[in-house]
Amino acid sequence: MAVITYIQAISDALREEMRRDESVFIIGEDVGGSFGGAFKVTKGFEEEFGTKRVMNAPISETAIVGAAIGASLNGMRPVVEMQFMDFVTNAFNQLANVAGTTAYRWAMGVPIVVRGPSGGGVGGGPFHSRNSEAWFAHTPGIKVVCPATAADAKGLLTASIRDNNPVVFYEHKGLYRKIKDEVPEGEHIVPLGKAAVVRQGRDATIVCYGSMVHEALALAEDMTKEGIELEVVDIRTLIPFDEATVLASVKRTSRVLIAHEATLTGGFGGEIAARIADKAFTFLDAPVRRLAAFDSPTPFAPTLEQEVLPNKAKMLAEVLSLLEF
Phi, psi of 28 (to 5 degrees): 170, 180
Phi, psi of 117 (to 5 degrees): -80, 140
* High-pLDDT (> 90) share of the chain, %: 99
pLDDT-derived band of residue 21, with 50, 70 and 90 as boundaries?
very high
Instruction: Please report, as a single letter, which amino acid is at residue 206.
Output: I
**CB distance 150 to 181 below 8 Å:** yes
* Position 110 pLDDT exceeds 90: yes
Name the fold adopted by 196-324: Rossmann fold (3.40.50)
Task: Give the ranges where the chain is alpha helix by DSSP (H).
Answer: 6-20, 45-49, 61-72, 92-93, 100-106, 133-137, 150-162, 211-223, 243-253, 268-279, 302-308, 312-324
| Average pLDDT estimate for 65-83 | 98
Vertex 35 angle, CA 30 and 37, to 5°: 50
Mean pLDDT for all residues in the chain? 97
| Average pLDDT estimate for 176-192 | 97
Q: State residue 151's pLDDT score.
A: 98
Residue 314 φ/ψ region, left for φ over 0, alpha for ψ in the -120 to 50 degree band, beta for the rest: alpha
Instruction: Please report, as a single letter, which amino acid is at residue 135.
Output: W
pLDDT-derived band of residue 319, with 50, 70 and 90 as boundaries?
very high
- For the chain, give every domain's residue range: 2-183, 196-324
Q: Would you name the residues annotated as active-site residues?
A: 128
pLDDT tens digits, residue range 247-276?
999 999 999 999 999 999 999 999 999 999
Vertex 243 angle, CA 208 and 256, to 5°: 45
* Position 54 pLDDT exceeds 90: yes
CATH superfamily of domain region 2-183: Thiamin diphosphate (ThDP)-binding fold, Pyr/PP domains (3.40.50.970)
pLDDT-derived band of residue 208, with 50, 70 and 90 as boundaries?
very high
Q: State residue 182's pLDDT score.
A: 97
| Average pLDDT estimate for 95-106 | 95
| Average pLDDT estimate for 177-204 | 97
| Average pLDDT estimate for 289-295 | 98
2-183 shares its CATH topology with 196-324:
yes
| Average pLDDT estimate for 273-287 | 98
Q: State residue 34's pLDDT score.
A: 86
CA atoms within 13 A of residue 147's CA, in its CB half-sphere: 34
Phi, psi of 42 (to 5 degrees): -105, 25
**CB distance 211 to 172 below 8 Å:** yes
* Position 298 pLDDT exceeds 90: yes
pLDDT-derived band of residue 61, with 50, 70 and 90 as boundaries?
very high
Pairing of strands 143-145, 237-239: antiparallel
pLDDT tens digits, residue range 120-172?
999 999 999 999 999 999 999 999 999 999 999 999 999 999 999 999 999 99
Q: Give Cα separations from 58 to 61, 63, 158 (angstroms).
A: 8, 8, 26
Q: State residue 144's pLDDT score.
A: 98
Taking Cα atoms as reference points, which of 92, 107, 244, 235 lies closest to residue 168?
A: 92
